[in-house]
Structure 1
Amino acid sequence: MLEMLNRWYQRRFSDPHAVSLIALLVVGFVVIYFFGNLLAPLLVAIVLAYLLEWPVSKMVSFGLPRVASVILVLTIFVGLMLLACFGLVPTIWTQVINLIADIPTMFNDLQNYISHLPEAYPDVIQPQMVKAFIDTLQSRVLGLGETAVKGSLASLVSLATLAVYLILVPLLLFFLLKDRDQMLASFSTVLPRNRRLTNRVGTEMNEQISNYIRGKVTEIIIVGIASYITFSLLDLRYAALLSVATGLSVLIPYIGAAAVTLPIFMVALFQWGISPELGYLMLAYGIIQALDGNVLVPVLFSEAVNLHPVAIIVAVLVFGGLWGFWGVFFAIPLATLVKAVWNALPSNDLEDDAVEESSN
């Protein structure tokens, strides 16, 4: 057993460049795991820098100075964000309030419907089963109410954090875009000299992450707009709120689409009941999800979708458990990073050589 482990170690980590690569990954993991909350504004700024580097580079290629390009792109970006906040957020907030106000009515209708099931299906459903289910449902609703109260108290702290982000993130974003080359050069001076594999993996992942962030933002916008148009045409309540939820659900591959289906179905069920309108809505929603998964995702993430769905789901669970939202958001790039690192490590198959020598 020890000999086998020693051969595996020699096969994978005999190159000092491989040791440097693994050491840098371990240091990065430790820093983000233990200091991720402190570095959150920097992480947000880095994500936005990846998103905005493409238009900045395009303007620079047209002859505009980099500083002027950064200022222009940031001005347009901030303007679009303010337009979205003042145009979309009030509508969503109003629909959230209306949904919360309608929840008691929805809950009572659900109780009445369930309580009459024993009369409709006496051979299948017993009254004791219905009573137990309603009691459990009531306790869960009370638990959700307590959680909402605690969340409202914690939101005061979140507002203070948001105020800090609104100041720090734009400043960090400006300097990350403006002084990108100088920062990268300074960072390279502290890296180990044996970094041939690190440079190879870093170059690959830099392009992967850049394409992934731009693609993910594009996917969110397209899916959200398509969902809003569909929900509005079918006259579904809370169309803006549910379309935003559908757009953001693409952040979590596979799991997000399944999670957002339930509230859409429940809202439609309470609005129309078991009717053709409910069927039309779920059919249209299914078409949107099918087009997203089979057309939009392959176009936007032609390299990332080479990962097996099981690998993506495992990456979401593992990295989401480690780093929360950021782990979920970067689950696919992180899984790609693991794959790229494994492929980059040396693989001198000593065992096969030994077999060939013995056969000779």
Structure 2
Amino acid sequence: MLGFDVGAARKVWTAFLIGLLLFIIYIASTTVLVVVFAVFFSYLIYPMVALVERVRPRRVPRVASIAIVFVVVVALLAVVGSLFGVELQDQASRLVKQLPALLRTDVQNRLPLPHFLEPLRERILEFVRSQIETGSDKAVPLARSLGVGVVHAAGNVIYLVLVPILSFLLIKDGEKMRKAFLALLNRPHRTLWVGIVDDVNVLLSRYVRALLFLSLATLLCYGIAFSLFGVPYAFLLAVSAALLEFVPFAGPLAAIAITLVVAVFSGFPHPFWLLLFIGLYRLFQDYVLNPYLMSEGVEVSPFLVIVGLLAGDQLGGVAGIFLAVPVIAALKIVVSRAQVFYAASHEQGDAARHALTGRTDDEA
């Protein structure tokens, strides 16, 4: 009536609601980020909860077993922090204090270069000197800004408390929330969303646990190798590389750059051996360990990864970079599931029309 298309209106209304939801998420980015970290922490904890559930006596409530796991995990994190936190803080403080002096050293004159670059050594050294002079002027302000960032994070300790609390509630009530969400959907689309929810659950489970194991492997290998090589600030560099493993693609590259810069300007005499070790480890991790841990379902093309990292950096900074790959992988699942669902719906519709047409011809 009057050219009003109900189907088009529904699509416009749906697009408006999705846009409004994305706008609300952008406005409440801090809250959303806390919830996301709680979800990730839940996936890390849940295998231990499932293990305790298998041996839990029936008379013991499920909430008690979940609480026991969380208490043990938090206690372990506190013990690890107390054992290694002092050393980490000491190395970080010494590096920050010595950074201006390190940048002004004459180490660039002893920097080894391949033979084919020897004729360009003077130009390269001049460029390095200019960059060092610029960097030394910015070193102290940069350290000061990092300190302000740490103080700001310390002022938001409430978030560190909220993450395990929200994770506890998610594990306790996750199945209820899943059923409540699916109950809101009509029957035809419920099948589609059941598949999407299950696939995303498997995706996040694999992705989060794989990142944890990759980070621990990097911490162990880098820590042992750097200590044996005598690399300055070995523990600090190993921990930094392990944390940067949670940032896909860009994180490991940043870890390599930071390690080489700190090692060279701290006077480490064998940077090429260090680079060779890192290169071999990256080959092992990227082509053996990573595919084994990630398995299928988390594959995202390098083009989409780079685009996602750039978009995530623009939208959410470090948090956006951290979430780029799982968000792209989840969208990939949604699109593939929707394609299969609507293709099956069209086939069923065509089959019903053919059946109806055949009966009409037989009756005629």
Q: TM-score w.r.t. structure 1 length?
A: 0.78
Paired amino acid for 1:81: L
SS of equivalent residue, structure 1 residue 306? coil
Distance (whole Å) between structure 1 residues aligned to residue 120 and residue 313 of structure 2:
41
The residue number in structure 1 matching 2:99 is 103
CA–CA separation in structure 2 for the residues paired with 1:185 and 1:151: 44
Q: How far is 1:198 from its partner?
A: 2.3
Distance, in Å, in 1 between the alignment partners of 2:56 and 2:238 is 40
Residues 304 and 332 in structure 1, CA contact (< 8 A), matched pair in contact too: no
2:216 to 203, 217, 221: 221
Alignment match, 2:253: 258
SS at match of 1:237: coil
- Out of 81, 88, 92, the position equivalent to 2:84 is 88
Q: Which range moves more in the overlay, 189-198 or 69-78?
A: 189-198
Corresponding residue of 1:148: 143
Give the C-alpha shift of residue 271 in structure 1.
4.4
Q: CA deviation at 1:112?
A: 7.2
Q: Which amino acid aligns with 2:204?
A: I
Which residue in the other structure is 2:235 paired with?
A: 240
Question: Could you tell me whether the CA contact under 8 Å between 2:48 and 2:69 is conserved in 1?
Answer: yes
- Please tell me whether the aligned partners of residues 212 and 301 of structure 1 are also in contact (alpha carbons under 8 angstroms): yes
* Aligned-partner Cα distance in 2 for 1:345–1:176: 27
Say whether the 8 Å CA contact 1:45–1:170 is kept in structure 2: yes
Name the CA distance, whole Å, in 2 between partners of 1:122 and 1:209: 49
What residue number does 1:5 align with? none
Give, in whole Å, the separation in 1 of the partners of 2:120 and 2:290. Answer: 43
Post-superposition offset of 1:43: 2.5
How many positions carry a matched residue from both structures? 329
How large is the RMSD of aligned CA atoms in angstroms? 3.5
Is 2:44–2:208's contact at 8 Å kept on the other side of the alignment?
A: yes
Could you tell me whether the CA contact under 8 Å between 2:41 and 2:167 is conserved in 1? yes
Question: For residues 89-135 of structure 1, what are the alpha-carbon distances to aligned partners after superposition, in whole Å with 9 as ceiling and x for unaligned?
Answer: 21111101111232233222148739xx9xxx9975778x9667645
1:202 matched to 2:197? The reply is yes
Match among 29, 36, 44 for residue 29 of structure 2 = 36
SS across alignment from 1:251: coil
SS in 1 for 2:279: helix
Q: Does 1:168 align with 2:162?
A: yes
Paired residue for 2:153, among 155, 158, 163?
Answer: 158
> Do 1:215 and 1:300's aligned partners in 2 also have CA atoms closer than 8 Å?
yes
Residue 22 of structure 1: how far off its partner (Å) = 7.3
**Partner SS state of residue 145, structure 1:** helix
2:105 partner SS:
helix
Q: Distance in 2 between matches of 1:269 and 1:85?
A: 29
Q: Does 1:268 align with 2:246?
A: no
Superposition pairs of residues 1-360 of structure 1, within 5 angstroms = 29-64=22-57, 65-110=61-106, 113=109, 124=120, 134-162=129-157, 164-191=158-185, 194-272=189-267, 275=269, 277-304=270-297, 306-346=299-339
Q: Taking structure 1 as reference, are residues 343 and 22 closer, same or farther at Cα in structure 2, changes over 3 Å only?
A: farther
SS at match of 1:38: helix
Instruction: Summarize the Cα distance change of 1:101–1:338 in structure 2 as closer, same or farther, 3 Å threshold.
Output: same
Question: Aligned in 2, Cα 1:328/1:47: closer, same or farther, shift over 3 Å?
Answer: same
1:343: Cα distance to partner?
Answer: 1.7
Secondary structure of 2:243 counterpart: helix
Structure 1's 154 and 122: CA in aligned 2 closer, same or farther, altered over 3 A? Answer: closer
Is the Cα contact below 8 Å between 2:52 and 2:65 reproduced in 1? yes
Question: Does structure 2 retain, via aligned residues, the 8 Å contact 1:46–1:176?
Answer: yes
Alpha-carbon spacing, 1:111–1:234, altered in 2? closer, same or farther (3 Å):
closer
- The residue type equivalent to 1:71 in the other structure is A
**Identical positions, percent:** 24
Tell which deviates more after alignment, 19-28 or 193-202.
19-28
**Maintained 8 Å contact 2:215/2:243:** yes
Can you list the C-alpha shifts for 1:55-107, whole angstroms capped at 9, x where unaligned? 21222233444212201210111012102211222111110111123223322
Work out the CA distance in 1 between the residues paired with 2:45 and 2:104: 48
